[in-house]
Amino acid sequence: MLKVYIFLSFFAICSINIKGQLSYGGVPLALTDNIVKKNDLHTEVMPPLPSAVQSKYDYSSSSKDNAEPLRFAHSFSVNYTLDNSGYLQKFERYFIWRLPIKSKGAYSVNIIFDQFNLVKGDSLFIYNEDRSMILGAFTSKSNRESGVLATAPVKGDKIIIELRGDNSSLRKSQLRVRKVNHDYLNLFSSKQSIGTRFGLKGDCHVDVTCGGADDLELLKRSVSRVIFDGTELCTGTLVNNTLYDGTPYYLTAAHCMSSESSAETALITFNYQVPNCQSQIEGSFDKTISGAESIVYDESLDLALLKLSSTPPAEYRPYWAGWTRNETPEPPFLSIHHPQGDVKVYSQAFNNVEKASFYTSLFLSNSHWHVDEWQVGSTEAGSSGAPLFDHNGLLTGLLSGGSASCYNPYDDYFVRFKKAWDFLPGIYSRLDKWLDPDESDALEVEGFDFYQDSGETVMRLSNIIDDDSFVLKGVDSGDGYWSGHNSRKDVGFAEMYGAFETVKIYGVYLVPALSYIYNGVEADVNIQLWSGESVPEFELIEALNIPISQLSANKEFLWMFNESVESSGNIWASVSVDYTNTNDSLALYQTDYNNKRDHNTAWIKDSFNNWIPVDDADISNYKTSFWIDLLVSDYDFVDTHKDEIEFPDSDIDLYIYPNPANGTLWFKSNNLTAQSTTAIKIYSVDGRMVYQSFVDTTDNKGSVDISMLNNGIYVIGFIIDGKSFYKRVSVVN
């Protein structure tokens, strides 16, 4: 088997890495050695939660009605450094320092460093006991002038911090953990668990991936979830400026922050949303940026404009929202937000908004828009800071609070963008100096896809089509499923894409329907990309020995490459499984029967290591897709989707159809004589002739039997009147 590219080893990808500007590849040595036994590590244990902290099932501690953020965690102040805590081991060429921290009963733990300064060559990881979630590596590239670094929550009540480096750098890095935050509301449980974030939002909300609102496809990419101080959940928006230069300005509510310095602890999560309007599937939340600079902060207007520590990369699919200073915005109005810190949803109001004062004395009078009623959805705690877009998709306000809920969708208040523009005198209390740096006096600015002009726009590519529903489909005459472990002992499950003229692939989304681990001893899976003419043949990249625990049921799993992969032709993204532990089980969602689906894209690798389309193996023989999506950019498909394709450069009007072709390919031309013979030659995309024949034509047309060809892309040549003409055709037998 030829391997064209291998960018990743097992140790680079076996964890759920929180990527973006936070992690730079690698793996904790805990996954590769037996140097430190579990009992050898001294654990720092947090005290019990104070009695004043609400029960983990009580969500009334935060109130949107009183303009408060959603508090999900309790913060412990600590002072852990390399000198006073942890466990140091020195070896011949390197050292390891590990610090376990436990906060009993926490659903997740996150920490905040107030001193974080790594020397070049040192790397730091944070992971939980079962290593099902790993952050890192953090390196010297993660250093900031402030020294502050806030980390994402890690599932479970115990985390391990691991620093490693060359002995020459021992104790040259500076670390101090100042805050340990105990999650008591639960950011990670399955939907069925009491206290989970996912599924906690009210039942009136509409997921952003379900469409139905103007400009939603673009605007949803500007809105994200934000955590401040490791304890507060809110919503914020990436906003454009008059220079259209991609400066990562970020608007949210001042009341989401305990102080102006909270900006340094911001953790922004992009694209946390259900995939494909499937409300039972939790979206991934591993696209994060840590840290921001406070640019504008004014509590009297409930306004905070931040500048993120780094520009969201192209694979985050960011969009810079436009804004308007119009004082008479027109409906319908749209708000996109994270109610209860849950997946992203949208709300709509079809009535006019009016200038108003927030009904308490918290903010300046007459500084807000009053939304009297939401006709679609509502808002909740956690929605604070959400944008209000007008009928043109331009931001006109930011949510301070109100009494609206799913049970009572009335009376919400958004601080007016125009009021915040230049009402107050100081430049740190107004927006105009920052969002209009060239003093253009623009009344409005359009939204901006920063990466589109450079051709870097990243898309999620899926074979899911309209009206698809998802199932676990059992194998014929046996146990298990066509998309995972089964009694047939199928060892691989792949989704076919293409054919591409060119494509750049950043990552793979998997959506498991079943993930079961027996007695804590788990099997592994591998993820691979393949290319080939008609079957997965050439391995492009692989990720080996990923524990099944990382692929949770009903939660999408995103595997990101350390580098993008460029290829062409047909591409297969596959998951392979082993049967070492016969009690473990993994299966992906696949599409149910859909009469709109014209071809099969799901493939399996049987126990004899042969790749075959599922509809060849399944006696029900319906066409299906496995839920495996690609994150791609710079892609063009081979042009094979027209019913009839003309040869524009020839003086013969030759057409071939249908394309894609199934069983029989027809061709016609007015230049063909009434009864003649045409020479046909068919080549694979790598130039090998796979078929040749002479075909009789009648009434200016003829046909070619292609039923013997494997699925894939071919070049077909016609010799007419001594001239040769060639065109690509896609075969989907």
Q: Per-residue pLDDT tens for 120-178? A: 999 999 999 877 788 888 999 899 889 999 999 999 999 999 999 998 888 899 999 99
Residue 25 confidence (pLDDT): 53
Q: Rounded mean pLDDT of 415-420?
A: 97
Q: By three-state DSSP, how is residue 287 classified? A: strand
Listing DSSP states for 491-518 in one string gives: -EEEEEEEEEEEEEEEEEEE-EEEEE-S
d(CA 733, CA 730): 10
Closest to 584 in 3D by CA, of 624, 656, 640, 524: 524
pLDDT > 50? residue 486: yes
Backbone angles phi, psi at 681, to 5 degrees: -130, 135
pLDDT at 189: 52
State residue 652's pLDDT score: 55
**pLDDT value for 581:** 80
> What pLDDT score was predicted for residue 3?
28
Mean pLDDT of 593-605: 92
- Say what the pLDDT of residue 195 is: 33
- Predicted pLDDT of residue 9: 28
562 contacts 7 by C-beta, under 8 angstroms: yes
> What's the whole-number average pLDDT of the chain?
85
C-alpha span between 208 and 506 (Å, rounded)? 23
What pLDDT is recorded for position 17? 38
Q: Would you give the end-to-end CA distance of the chain in angstroms?
A: 26
Least confident residue range of 27-31, 33-37, 76-80, 444-448: 33-37
357 or 552, which is more confident: 357
Q: What is the pLDDT of residues 497-550, one digit of tens each?
A: 988 888 999 999 999 999 988 776 678 899 999 988 788 988 999 888 888 888
Q: What percent of the chain has pLDDT over 70?
A: 87
State the pTM of this model: 0.82
Cis peptide before 513 (omega within 30 of 0): no
Q: How confident is the model at residue 554 (pLDDT cuts 50, 70, 90)?
A: very high
Q: What is the pLDDT of residues 1-42, one digit of tens each?
A: 222 322 222 233 333 333 333 555 555 665 445 455 544 568
Asked if pLDDT for residue 606 goes beyond 70, the answer is yes
Residue 429, pLDDT score: 93
Non-local (6+) Cβ contacts of 534 within 8 A are: 570, 709, 710, 711, 712
Task: Give me the mean pLDDT over the 715-731 stretch.
Answer: 74
Q: What is the pLDDT of residue 57?
A: 44
- Residue 421: count of CB within 10 angstroms of its CB: 17
Q: Does position 364 have pLDDT exceeding 90, yes or no?
A: yes
Q: What is the pLDDT of residue 157?
A: 95
Question: With b meaning 16 or more CB within 10 Å and e meaning fewer, what string describes 436-461?
Answer: beeeeebebbebbbbbeeeeebbebb
What is the distance, to the nearest Å, from the Cα of residue 158 to the centroid of all Cα atoms in its chain? 26
- DSSP code of residue 140: G
State the Cα–Cα distance between residues 441 and 167, nearest whole angstrom: 57
Burial of 723 from C-beta contacts in 10 A (0-12 / 13-18 / 19+): exposed
CA distance 3 to 505: 16
Summarize pLDDT for 639-690 with one digit per residue, the tens: 543 333 333 344 556 778 787 788 888 888 776 665 677 788 887 765 667 8
Which residue bears the tokens 């955590």?
A: 227
Give the separation between CA 653 and CA 675, rounded to whole angstroms. 17
Amino acid at 101: I
* Whether residue 600 has pLDDT greater than 90: yes
- Element (H or E) spanning 71, and its range? strand 70-71
Choose between 572 and 10: higher pLDDT.
Answer: 572
- Report, as an integer, the average pLDDT of 241-262: 97
What's the rounded Cα separation, in Å, for the pair 125 and 151? 11
Q: Pairing between strand 292-298 and 223-228?
A: unpaired
Say whether pLDDT at 474 is over 60.
yes
| Mean pLDDT, range 390-414, rounded to an integer | 96
Sign of the torsion formed by the C-alpha atoms of 422, 423, 428 and 431: negative
State residue 26's pLDDT score.
Answer: 56
Write the CB contacts of 567 (distance below 8 Å, at least 6 apart in sequence): 4, 500, 502, 503, 505, 529, 531, 540
Residue 698: strand pairing partners: 675, 701
How far apart CA 217 and CA 389 sit, in angstroms, is 13
What is the mean predicted confidence (pLDDT) over 242-265? 97
Integer Cα distance of 667 and 567 in angstroms: 31
Report pLDDT for 643. Answer: 35
pLDDT over threshold 90, residue 403: yes
Angle at 378 between CA 376 and CA 384, to 5 degrees: 140
Q: Give the SS3 label for residue 685.
A: coil
Helix, strand, or coil here: 645? strand
Going by the DSSP 8-state scheme, the letter that residue 48 receives in this structure is P
For residues 76 and 142, what is the distance between their CA atoms, to the nearest angstrom? 24
pLDDT band, very low/low/confident/very high, at 727 (cuts 50, 70, 90): confident
| SS3 call for 428 | helix
Residue 260 in 3-state DSSP?
A: helix
Each residue's pLDDT tens digit, 261-302: 999 999 999 999 999 999 899 998 888 999 999 999 999 999
Of 598 and 444, the one with more pLDDT: 444
Distances (CA, A) of 107 to 18, 104, 187, 323, 420: 18, 9, 7, 38, 38
Alpha carbon dihedral 433, 271, 596, 658, in 10-degree steps, equals: 70
Residue 93, pLDDT score: 86
| pLDDT for residue 649 | 42
The answer to whether the beta carbons of residues 333 and 325 sit under 8 Å apart is no
